Structure 1
Amino acid sequence: MKNKLTQLLCIILTVATLAACKKTIGLNPLPANKITEFKVAVSDQNLFAAIDETDKTITLYLPYYYELDVIEPVIKLSDGAKLSEAILPVEVSDTKKTYTVIGTDQTTSTYKLIIKQNQEAPLVLTELSTATSTANIAIGGADIALQGNFNVSDIKKIKAYLVDPNNKEYEFLASPSFGAPGVTASMIGTTKTYTYGKLMAPQILEPGACKIRVKVQALTAEMKFPVNVVYGRPGINYGPVTAKQGGTFKILTSTTVFNDFKEFYIMINGQKTLLPIVSFTRTEAIIRIPDTVPPGLYTPTAAFGTWPLLTLNWDVTVTAK
């Protein structure tokens, strides 16, 4: 009797186990609000980003030699999902770009885009000064050239600065005298060196020691030795003028600035005749023509500090009152 009872219990347990095995255990559904692929077309291939679902980031690595300023992504989503905004071009310097995906179940997920520019590091600059000799750069001085292993030919990817003792950056400007800045590459020994040239030091600089800092895409470097920012020999823009006796006219400089402006004069019958300097700033001066100057055509000369005299290649035409 005992054995029969034991057999009955075993049969009941077996039937219950088989019945349990027939039940379907539900799996969590796949998220409906995912970015499944993020890619960017370049000249010879597609670049695929790494998508991290844990921290919700999209990391795209850009080799420097593609020299991209903007990317145009192609994005794939979960079936039926959509983005909360249109897919537009993105600047590679953008550090705040996000994408929000809306799933078919109306749940949302937001991803942050991280663009990392792969460059050859470190960025190395050719020094202008040495431990024993400090280079001078004139305030407003033009045709300045900087060299280094920039590995780019696009000037939009290079930023160069003079940095004062307070760490304030003054970006080098395009030189109005020598045309637009440019980047050229050449072999110096066995090293490929890039020259970023036709630059101008800003006219607002103050004299003193400055560092030179260069930024190429994601890389930054500074020259080890500082340069001296100084007042150079002033220049005066080409600008023939016509003014009446007793009147005034303006002269300008778009490069090296006016400093210690002493005299502005013309020659009348072999005699030096001053045209008084009414006022001047770094970039412009007001000159007056005395009432006694006869009408005529005159070539002026300017004197600044101890610099050699600056005889201009344009004329002042004086007319009668």
Structure 2
Amino acid sequence: MKNRYLFLLLLFIAIGFHSCTKTEHFEVIAPNRMIEYKVVNLQDTVIYGAIDNENNTITVYVPFYLGMAVIQPEITVETGAALETEVLPVELDNTVQSYKVRGADGSSRIYQLHIIQQNTPFLSLVWSTGQPTAAPGNQIVQMGPYDAPFFASLYGDFQSTNTSTLTFALINKVTGDTIRPSLATAEIMANNSSSLPLIADYLLNGITVPDDVDSGYYDVEVGFLGHKELAPAPLHVQYHAPIFAPLWSAKVATPGGEINFAAATAPFQYLFIDPKSATTILDGKTFEFAIQSSSTKRNLVLKVPEDFPRGEHGVVPFTFQFGEWSVIELNVPLTINAR
């Protein structure tokens, strides 16, 4: 019996010794890792991206109050590795940016970039009052009493006055066509004025409808800091009948030369839509002034007939036809000099 116990004891000792001396083999980590990703286009600070070497991702969190439109990365890889992707600025809505790192051993790794904008949940857009209207060439307005225009604004929870990430689109409700007005004069303002309605903390205004937009109803889509939201009511685009700017001096030209007329700018920016004809009667004879191709919706250019009489004619009655609007009559001081 003692021999049996001794044999079992020696057997357990042998097994324990064998288990203690067993060699574990760990997977070799390829030398192709990114070790730092930071955003450097901020004043006095940087943002560090979170690098996940298991899932091969980089996550960058961008707070809304920084008002950033793009990030400029600076990337560090481990010793001996090389970054094979060119490091360029990345727009905040970019969802396809990746980076390839190649190790000294020839192995490679591709990281996918994720940019997460830390914003308010919604823009919560609301018009200042009623149904907003607009005429091409003008800012968005709300019509007041006696057709007096009041500029309308979009209020919302913008939480920033920086317009660098702002987008604005008019989407035709019938055709689906998308118009993107210039944002050169757009502004987001903090609503801290006692003269403004207390609808929301911020308002957006200063956006002009392009001259060539068709009439009709348009959904208004605002993009800002990663949000995209439709305004609660569509914008009604309507044309105004053309009106000429006041004539402060005589039109002076030569036969075959040109005279031009500006569209009125008050109380709206009026436009010359679909000009068809411009005629005048002098000494019982009708003369047609040809509409030139250099005309724009804000400036009408006419060619003086070759046989139009020379001289200072004082006030000459002109008749203009634009589209289907009523005929416009205008007295024009006119002087035609000899060549």
In 1, the alpha carbon distance for the partners of 2:230 and 2:330 equals 36
In 2, the alpha carbon distance for the partners of 1:137 and 1:181 equals 16
Paired residues for 1:80-119 under 5 Å: 80-119=80-119
Deviations 1:59-105 (A, max 9, x none): 21111111112322233434433311343332323322111122233
1:289 corresponds to which residue? 304
In 2, the alpha carbon distance for the partners of 1:311 and 1:147 equals 42
Deviations 1:145-164 (A, max 9, x none): 63323333333322222210
Q: In the alignment, is residue 147 of structure 1 matched against residue 160 of structure 2? A: no
Q: 1:65 to 1:29 in 2, by over 3 A?
A: same
| Runs of 5+ unmatched residues, structure 1 | none
- 1:80 and 1:103 in contact (8 A); partners too: yes
Structure 1, 238-247 or 100-109: larger mean CA deviation: 238-247
In 2, the alpha carbon distance for the partners of 1:120 and 1:182 equals 19
1:319 corresponds to which residue? 337
2:171 corresponds to which residue? 163
Deviations 1:193-233 (A, max 9, x none): 23331x32122222212222211131112222223211124
Amino acid at match of 2:254: K
- 1:263 and 1:274 in contact (8 A); partners too: no
Q: Partner of 2:99: helix, strand, or coil?
A: strand
In 2, the alpha carbon distance for the partners of 1:273 and 1:155 equals 54
In 2, the alpha carbon distance for the partners of 1:309 and 1:194 equals 42
- 2:134 and 2:140 in contact (8 A); partners too: no
In 1, the alpha carbon distance for the partners of 2:124 and 2:26 equals 56
Q: In the alignment, is residue 138 of structure 1 matched against residue 135 of structure 2? A: yes
- 1:265 and 1:272 in contact (8 A); partners too: no
- 1:96 and 1:112 in contact (8 A); partners too: yes
In 2, the alpha carbon distance for the partners of 1:26 and 1:295 equals 106
Amino acid at match of 1:117: Q
Amino acid at match of 1:320: A
Q: Partner of 1:157: helix, strand, or coil?
A: coil
Shift in Å, 1:107:
1.6
| Runs of 5+ unmatched residues, structure 2 | 142-151
- 1:51 and 1:58 in contact (8 A); partners too: yes
In 1, the alpha carbon distance for the partners of 2:159 and 2:330 equals 41
In 1, the alpha carbon distance for the partners of 2:21 and 2:240 equals 93
Q: TM-score, normalised by structure 2?
A: 0.72
1:258 corresponds to which residue? 272
